Amino acid sequence: MKHVVVDPVTRIEGHLRVEVQVDEASGKVQDAISSGTAWRGLELVMNDRDPRDAWAYIQRICGVCTTAHALASLRAVEDALGITIPKNAHYIRSIMAASQTIQDHVIHFYHLHALDWVSPLEALKADPIATAHLQSVVLQNYKLPFTGPAKIDTEAYPKEFPQAAPEYFDTFKKKIQAIVESGQLGIFAAQWWDHPDYQLLPPEVHLLAVTHYLEMLDKQREIVIPHVILGGKNPHPHYMVGGMPCSISLDDGNAPLNTARLNIVDRAINTTRSLVNNFYLPDVLAIGALYVQKGYVDGGGLSKERVLGFGDYPDEPFSGASDGSYFKNQLIRCNGVVENFGKGVAQAVYTELKSEDITSPEVLTEGVEHAWYEYPGHKSDESLHPWDGITSAKFAGPKEGTETDWKALNEQGKYSWLKTPKWRGKLCEVGPLARYIIIYTKAKKGVLGEPTWAEKMILDQIDAVSKVLKLQPEVWMPTMVGRTAVRALEAQVNSEMSRYFFDKLIANIKSGDTKVANTDKWDPKTWPKEAKGVGLYEAPRGALSHWIVIKNGKTANYQAIVPTTWNACPRDDKAGHGAYEQAMMDTKVKIPDKPLEIVKVVRSFDPCMACATHLYNAKGEKIKVVTTDPYTGTHVEE
């Protein structure tokens, strides 16, 4: 048995450490540890702040899935205060959510994940002529033709299209060659390039993918142009409680949003659609198909047993999640849990998640058995609903090494800054794959009803990919490849979602409605003395929930359960391992000293550790204070 540590796991957001016990003879991972190694305490920072500012603070949980936390936070505050935002604001936020999801997915595949699949060194063996031919074949075989119902189509022809000229690939090959020969590998340094998995794909696939890696490095920025117009910047665009700050006026040249500005958003949506349909999706499917053909259908882990979603994209403005209106008109109704999908749809069990489940103290809870926290006054294995959440940090050193020099973490004890979230006492995987499994299972079980256009697109995509792979969805979806492929499918749905809501926005403005903000309850004097709210959002990495308690106009309690906390959480003695740990234990490692398969399967979740490792409300806990007086500088008070 060999103990293998990867720390830091790079090409992710934040600080993650994994440890695995590998049986060297079989390559089987007997045990795995996933540890979030940092926390920042942002929920404590939220206390006593103005709830109208909450989105700005909590958005800083993460700059990779920037906007995700702002949107969930706005929904929580608006739920608490009973604010329904205007139609235009809802459509604008939906465009921002969709463009965020796509940009996040694109940057994940090309810049965070691709170098686990392809290598610049292998690309050097490629024939540029054969690569050009391959590009044509990829476009012929792996483009998916699905579109949404949007009627306005301002684009004459797709402006973003992969080049398939041998000269083009030759240029990139020479560029890579020059970098390799210079010895200055820069970002390509220190990877296990000699790992046998880099031999799975032909050299031409490597050259094509590395070329697109570089192209997308410069192109991804255009996907979030809607944020720059509608929210003023990206990362971390601006919002307001009650709607959007970007007022619309077709009479004013200085207006935040007028025809000229809308045209910039429209152009970006068109660009995005081409980038997804012509680059991202075909590239992922081509690579995924080769992997699946070679028998790589492992790494599914917990997704075979249990996945969870909240559903999203309400078609029209809603009054909140607490009163259930959030669930009534969703375009993607993945609000529920699917168990045992890995055994086939017939044996899978679907349980709907309703608004009363969200606020019930029994359904969604968090434990700290193996997290560096304690619940004073409670048993060590007790779980608490986030409303009653306590944070009392209780760091315990590693199994081997010291507190500030870890050799091996203690899987028997506490080993992560992440808590362990549970649904009815059980652990769940969340994310694009979870969303797709839930929609597919609901449809097959006849509980979906008439699919919305987005759900129909999802079902058509799953069907098309199953035909390409010649495998049933329950075989290819809950795998490492499936997790990565579904993310690309979801980007296509989201690119149509942007178009769809842009259409609605134009139609609504055309009808004479230019309102973007509901300011009826802007003044805290209009608020009740005490209010509670929940904001749900299907973030790029999965089901996200924010809770707020407002007392006397101020934030009295702020909570969030984040997708990466669901997926990367430490184990629970009763419920077993979380999604990262299970996925690692469902993966074979060829060379324990070069655990490429481990980082690859972990990256298939698109880890976002800063999201996962922040602190829950510690009531009255004494803490060390750092004075941040602008005139006297920063001092730590011991």
Partner 1 sequence: MDKRESMWDVYLRKGISRRSFLKGCAALTAMMGLSTDMLSEVVEAAEAKPLPVVIWLHGHECTGCDESFLRSASPLASDVVLNNIDLEYSHVLSAGSGEPFEAHLEETIQKYAGQYILAVEGAVSTKDNGIYCMTGGKPFVQTLQRVAKGAAAVIAYGTCATSGGIQAANPNPTGSSGISHFIGDKPLVNVPGCPPIPEVMTGVIMHVALFGKLPPLDGDGRPKQFYGNRIHDTCYRRPFFDAGLFAESYDDKGSKAGWCLYKLGCRGPETYNSCGNMRWYQGMSYPIQSGAPCIGCSNAHFWDEAPFSKRLPEYGPLGDIDKIGAGLAVATGVGVVAHGALSTIQKKKRQEAEQAEHDEKQVKK
Positions in 89-108 near partner 1 (CB under 8 A): 107
CB of 247 to partner 1, least distance (A): 4
The interface with partner 1 within residues 24-43 (CB under 8 A) comprises: 37-42
The interface with partner 1 within residues 256-295 (CB under 8 A) comprises: 256-257, 264
The interface with partner 1 within residues 513-572 (CB under 8 A) comprises: 514-517, 519, 522
Q: Is 168 in the site for partner 1 (CB under 8 A)?
A: no
Q: If residue 537 lies in a helix (H) or strand (E), which one and from where to where?
A: strand 530-539
CB of 377 to partner 1, least distance (A): 21
Nearer to partner 1, 157 or 631 (CB): 631
> Pick from 66, 135, 355, 383: which binds partner 1 (CB under 8 A)?
66
Pick the piece of the chain touching partner 1 (CB under 8 A) from 158-166, 186-194, 334-342, 444-452: 186-194
Residues 6+ apart with CB under 8 A from 493: 148, 332, 454, 457, 458, 461
CB of 308 to partner 1, least distance (A): 25
CB of 624 to partner 1, least distance (A): 5
Pick the piece of the chain touching partner 1 (CB under 8 A) from 243-251, 284-292, 469-477, 486-494: 243-251
Hey, what are 186's tokens?
């820069």
Q: What stretches of 285-395 adopt beta strand conformation (E)? A: 306-314, 330-339, 349-352, 364-367, 383-384
Using CB atoms within 10 A of its CB, is residue 335 exposed (0-12), middle (13-18) or buried (19+)?
buried
Q: Is 127 in the site for partner 1 (CB under 8 A)?
A: no
Q: Is 115 in the site for partner 1 (CB under 8 A)?
A: yes
The interface with partner 1 within residues 414-443 (CB under 8 A) comprises: 417
Pick the piece of the chain touching partner 1 (CB under 8 A) from 133-141, 255-263, 325-333, 503-511: 255-263
Nearer to partner 1, 438 or 610 (CB): 610
152 φ/ψ angles, rounded to the nearest 5 degrees: -75, 125
> Pick from 27, 82, 202, 235: which binds partner 1 (CB under 8 A)?
235
Measured distance CA(428)–CA(436) in Å, rounded? 14
Q: Which position has the token pair 């117009």? A: 229
Pick the piece of the chain touching partner 1 (CB under 8 A) from 349-357, 402-410, 421-429, 496-504: 402-410
For residues 82 and 236, the answer to whether their CB atoms sit within 8 Å is no
Q: Residues in contact with partner 1, total (CB under 8 A)? A: 117
Measured distance CA(35)–CA(33) in Å, rounded? 6
Measured distance CA(318)–CA(462) in Å, rounded? 30
CA dihedral of 389, 567, 46, 54, whole degrees rounded to 10 = -130
Nearer to partner 1, 417 or 436 (CB): 417
Pick the piece of the chain touching partner 1 (CB under 8 A) from 321-329, 432-440, 579-587, 618-626: 618-626
Report the candidate in 591, 637, 619, 611 with the shortest Cα–Cα distance to residue 193: 591
Pick the piece of the chain touching partner 1 (CB under 8 A) from 59-67, 272-280, 289-297, 501-509: 59-67
CB of 421 to partner 1, least distance (A): 21
Q: In sequence order, what DSSP letters do the residues of 393-447 get, joined into one string?
A: B-----SEEETTEEEE--TTS--BSS-EEEETTB--B-SHHHHHHHHHHHHHTT-
Measured distance CA(480)–CA(27) in Å, rounded? 17
Pick the piece of the chain touching partner 1 (CB under 8 A) from 135-143, 187-195, 196-204, 442-450: 187-195
Q: Is 249 in the site for partner 1 (CB under 8 A)?
A: yes
For residues 26 and 48, the answer to whether their CB atoms sit within 8 Å is no
For residues 414 and 394, the answer to whether their CB atoms sit within 8 Å is yes
> Pick from 156, 450, 630, 632: which binds partner 1 (CB under 8 A)?
630
For residues 604 and 480, the answer to whether their CB atoms sit within 8 Å is yes
How far is CA 370 from each of CA 283, 314, 403, 541, 576, rounded to the nearest angstrom? 39, 37, 16, 23, 11
The interface with partner 1 within residues 589-608 (CB under 8 A) comprises: 595, 599
CB of 185 to partner 1, least distance (A): 7
> Pick from 196, 401, 528, 576: which binds partner 1 (CB under 8 A)?
401
Q: Is 20 in the site for partner 1 (CB under 8 A)?
A: no
Q: Is 399 in the site for partner 1 (CB under 8 A)?
A: no
Neighbours of 605 (CB within 10 A): 32
Nearer to partner 1, 445 or 515 (CB): 515
**Cβ burial 124-159 (10 Å sphere, 16+ → b, else e):** bebbbeebbebbeebbeebebebebebeeeeeeeee
CB of 113 to partner 1, least distance (A): 11
For residues 229 and 265, the answer to whether their CB atoms sit within 8 Å is yes
The interface with partner 1 within residues 195-214 (CB under 8 A) comprises: 214
- Collapse the DSSP code of 523 into the 3-class scheme (helix H, G, I; strand E, B; otherwise coil) and give the result: coil
Residue-level length of the chain: 638
> Pick from 29, 32, 61, 428: which binds partner 1 (CB under 8 A)?
61
CA angle 576–582–586, rounded 5-degree value: 135
**Cβ burial 198-215 (10 Å sphere, 16+ → b, else e):** bebbbbbbbbbbbbbbeb
Pick the piece of the chain touching partner 1 (CB under 8 A) from 178-186, 297-305, 337-345, 541-549: 178-186
Nearer to partner 1, 54 or 443 (CB): 54
Q: Is 326 in the site for partner 1 (CB under 8 A)?
A: no
CB of 159 to partner 1, least distance (A): 17
40 φ/ψ angles, rounded to the nearest 5 degrees: -115, -15
- Collapse the DSSP code of 162 into the 3-class scheme (helix H, G, I; strand E, B; otherwise coil) and give the result: coil
Q: Is 124 in the site for partner 1 (CB under 8 A)?
A: no
Nearer to partner 1, 568 or 575 (CB): 568
> Pick from 76, 95, 208, 248: which binds partner 1 (CB under 8 A)?
248
Q: Is 390 in the site for partner 1 (CB under 8 A)?
A: no
Nearer to partner 1, 386 or 592 (CB): 592
Looking at the DSSP bridge assignments, the partners of residue 532 are 549
Nearer to partner 1, 16 or 481 (CB): 16
